[in-house]
Amino acid sequence: MTKVDKHALVVLSGGQDSVTCLGYALKVFSKVSAISFRYNQRHAIELQCAAYVANCYAVPHKVVDMGELISSLVTSALTGKGEVGRPHAYKPGLPSSFVPGRNALFLTLSHAFAQEIAAEAIITGVCQTDYSGYPDCRELFVLQLCQALNTGYETRIQILTPLMDLNKAQTFGLAEECGFLDMVLEHSHTCYNGDHQTRHQWGYGCGTCPACELRAKGWQEYKEIGWREKIKTEQS
């Protein structure tokens, strides 16, 4: 990876994907900042993970407290309205963990903060491969939102998605390449139920919620055939 002389702002939830993105940003960009959002999420332990990792690398870390701004407007199991692992109340085909408007709001506020701190890029860990079907994780959504924000505010800030076409096994591999695998395993949190006490080979979590199952599956694939070999297999 070649380092560039630019400032990147990482949207750091504290989960596997965003912590991996922080490792990636530290490898690629000369200056890195981070931003996190508190929105009454049931797995708010992730914010403690985000703060810990940012502090370990002396990354300036902004935490935005949104209180009930999201949870009072929409239904999602992640904000206490519903049970994880079930269909969403009014979004056919999506899981109950989907939070309508969340990614759009996070990226919009991150774009505003990037202007404030003169960051040239925003890095977010959304992907459209191993994911729960969230439509706001698709590349098209991110590209169009980026265009709208830059048009509206007369800026040229990039929104980068280094995990967009990676599955969870490959994301573990990228963390390893960035020297961040141990940090991901020990100090990231993905579990929707907020369990950061139960330790597995792939990290902490209840082991039964959809987020834990996806992470466990990715770890198993990563360990079985290796992420580089898996990439070659899928591309052949």
Question: What's the pLDDT tens digit per position in 80-111?
Answer: 766 777 888 888 888 878 888 899 999 999 99
The reported pTM is: 0.89
Please tell me what DSSP assigns to residue 97. T
pLDDT in tens, 54-89: 999 999 999 999 988 887 888 887 787 667 778 888
Domains and CATH numbers, the chain: 4-167 (3.40.50.620)
Query: Phi-psi region for residue 84, left (φ > 0), alpha (ψ -120 to 50) or beta?
Result: beta
